[in-house]
Structure 1
Amino acid sequence: MNFYEQLRDMRKLKGFTIRELADRSGVSAAYISQLENGNRGVPSPDVLMKLSEGLNTPYSELMGIAGYLEKQVIEPNEPYAKPRVNLRRFLRENDLVFDGIELSEQDKEWIERMLTALFWKDKRKEYSSENNQG
């Protein structure tokens, strides 16, 4: 199965029309249609990034399907180790987009505060239950 067929299958699997994917990704519907019909070459990594966001699919997966990355072979007994990402640093140091909307610095600060409050509350419950046992 080639890149174009896989892109179409991924879009359909997610339940998106071409127009919905265009709205979510910022890539024109005409271009997506041409891609899926094989009338365009493999898109650039920048376009693949937008499509990955629109499809809510890992960027590395689309890069692999498009032939930019070699597929990693994982031995059956070898555990797959995902890289650990410091979410606070990630929020602060990257330009972020959510459903096609670019997040401002204020948006990112709000998200950071919400996550801090969420995890602080959970840590406080955990600490409280540990100290009440005994």
Structure 2
Amino acid sequence: MEHAFGPYMKQLREQQGYSINQLAEAAGISNSQISRIENGVRGVPKPATIRKISDALSVPYTEMMKQAGYIEPGSATELQDVPEWATYKDRRDFKKMLEDDDDLMFDGIPLDEEDKKRIKDVLTGLFWEAKQMNKRKKTDESDNRP
């Protein structure tokens, strides 16, 4: 599936009055890379590059990821209730957990779609709670080092 990410990015850049050089500097990537993306020479950049561009343009990361084709609109992986503190790696881990295609079963019987959704909703809350606790734990450990 071909995505029109380059023209989308160019439109955002121009709407905000940035030159290619200004966006490149703000995002910490080369101006030639910006130009190649916008002109379709480079294609869709990696999520880490999209993160830098979205931060520089103050555009929601998920919106740019949808436009790039990494996230299907309306899918469970759209990452709707993602905490602000979540890193790209956290989001990737979460997406991987939700996309696991193994059948969910209870007592050897596959669950229907409604039950799967309810379980995934519960898992979503638990996942982000556990991630946040781990981040606090790491911060506390580093604070206690001599």
- The TM-score bracket by the shorter chain reads 0.5 to 0.7
TM-score scaled by length of structure 2: 0.50
Partners of 2:6 and 2:43 within 8 A in 1: no
Given candidates 38, 41, 47, the residue that maps to 1:39 is 41
Percent identical pairs in the alignment equals 36
- State how far apart, in whole Å, the 1-side matches of 2:17 and 2:70 are: 26
Segments ≥4 residues shifted beyond 6 Å: none
Given candidates 2, 5, 16, the residue that maps to 1:3 is 5
**C-alpha RMSD over aligned residues:** 2.3
- Partner of residue 63, structure 1: 65
Q: Kindly tell me: are residues 28 and 67 of structure 1, through their superposed partners in 2, closer, same or farther at Cα, counting changes over 3 Å?
A: same
Given candidates 30, 35, 52, the residue that maps to 1:50 is 52
Q: What's the offset of the Cα at 1:83?
A: 3.7
- Structure 1 counterpart of 2:65, which letter? M
Aligned residues: 81
- State how far apart, in whole Å, the 1-side matches of 2:9 and 2:42 are: 13
- Structure 2 counterpart of 1:6, which letter? Y
* Unaligned runs of at least 5 residues, structure 1: 74-81, 95-134
- State how far apart, in whole Å, the 2-side matches of 1:9 and 1:2 are: 11
TM-score scaled by length of structure 1: 0.54
